[in-house]
Amino acid sequence: MSANAESILKDLRAGKIAPVYFLQGDEPYYIDLLSNYVENELLRPEEREFNMTLVYGRDTNMQNIINAARRFPVMAQRQVVLVKEAQDMSEWNSEKAKEMLLRYVEKPVPSTLLMFCYKYKKLDARTQLAKALAKHAVVVETRKIYDNQLASWAKQYFANKGFQSSDKANAMLAEFIGNDLSRIANEIDKLLINFPDKKVIITDEQIARYVGVSKEYNSFELQSAIARRDILKANKIVSYFAANPKNNPAIPVIALLFGYFTKILQVHESSDKSKQAIASLLGINPYFAEEYIAASCIYTRDKAMQAIHLLYQADCRAKGIGSTMEDGDILRELIYGLLHL
């Protein structure tokens, strides 16, 4: 059967355990979340020595995995066979190996939890093995979340840890780290070590201090400066980027601004320009909707279209198409053009 990672984790904690799990998909965070729980929490410390089999795909084969799965637990209710990096097994194209797993999946050992961690890809759903897994095992398919959902995800992660966080703090984390849930979670965990009192609200100042994001010089602030036509602030940020090209490459900045002006165009096309309606349309927190509404007054529909053309030209230059300009010069030229539309 198919399920999501959160519901499976809840079941595992409640002792509702299936004999076979197949975790697959392009978002490794949730696969690691489940496998780490199974590895570290499912068995008591004294049970692990004889009842935990942990192997990596590149170092094992299907015969060894099935042999381990068919063993019985030693002085414990169950045993665990955990296959990490299962996508690295060389036998996924072997009919013999697939038949071996198929037969086991149809009649698994109830006292064994067998879990495959098949990262960054998934089995072809049309194959006999995939259909058998869907019928007899618990299949979890993880997907990358959209960039515009990252800030909300960070806010929920803080909440799960018992903390409140400001919208700007969440946005800074999302913008600085990007679509890497494992890294966002890791940075939040490291940050929260500094706050034993859960009554504190995590703000952008704390993100800047503990995560290493510059409070003044980041793409989020550049976007805001452009929206306000704050020429001095925008140029200070671009100069900072130019002086630190490894940490501030042009292409991600251009991509962020492209998304920004695309949203401004969407505001122009909307008949309802209330804060709540715009937030719903753009898939953003209402906190940020006012900025897009204000920016749409500065950048008319035609100017927003011109901005997207400038961003396209800058993207081509950053990728070396017809240009040998350095990233800093590309950004300086781009920002000048955007601010003088």
Distance CA 114, CA 20 (A): 5
CATH architecture of the domain formed by 147-211:
Orthogonal Bundle (1.10)
Burial string for 38-76 (b: 16+ CB within 10 Å, else e) reads: bbeebbeeebbeebbbebebeebbbeebbebbeeebeeb
Here the tokens at position 180 are: 């890497």
140, 71, 74, 62: which is closest to 112 by C-alpha?
A: 71
Q: Name the CA dihedral angle for 335, 166, 186, 21, rounded to a multiple of 10 degrees.
A: -110
Running DSSP on this structure, what letter comes out for residue 86? Answer: G
Distance CA 341, CA 64 (A): 65
Q: Looking at 80-180, list the stretches that DSSP marks H as alpha helix, in order from N- to C-terminal side.
A: 95-106, 128-136, 150-160, 167-177
Residue-by-residue pLDDT tens, the chain, 341 positions = 667 899 999 999 999 999 999 999 999 999 999 999 999 999 999 999 999 999 999 999 999 999 999 999 999 999 999 999 999 999 999 999 999 999 999 999 999 999 999 999 999 999 999 999 999 999 999 999 887 788 889 999 999 999 999 988 888 888 778 788 999 999 999 999 999 888 889 998 888 888 876 667 778 788 889 988 999 999 999 998 888 888 788 888 898 899 899 999 999 999 998 888 998 888 777 777 888 898 999 999 999 999 999 999 999 999 999 888 999 999 999 999 999 98
Q: Is 54 helix (H, G, I), strand (E, B) or coil?
A: strand
Tracing tokens 């495959």 back to the chain, one arrives at: 116
Distance CA 16, CA 9 (A): 10
CATH architecture of the domain formed by 2-142:
3-Layer(aba) Sandwich (3.40)
- The answer to whether 20 and 136 have CB atoms below 8 angstroms apart is yes
CATH architecture of the domain formed by 219-339:
Up-down Bundle (1.20)
pTM comes to 0.71
Distance CA 341, CA 3 (A): 50
For residue 36, count CB atoms less than 10 angstroms from its CB and return exposed for 0-12, middle for 13-18, buried for 19 or more: exposed
DSSP string for 222-249: HHHHHHHT-HHHHHHHHHHHHH-TTTS-
Q: Is 85 helix (H, G, I), strand (E, B) or coil?
A: coil
To the nearest 10 degrees (0 to 180), the angle between helices 219-228 and 231-243 is 150
Distance CA 69, CA 109 (A): 7
Q: Do domains 2-142 and 147-211 have the same CATH topology?
A: no
- Structural domain spans, the chain: 2-142, 147-211, 219-339
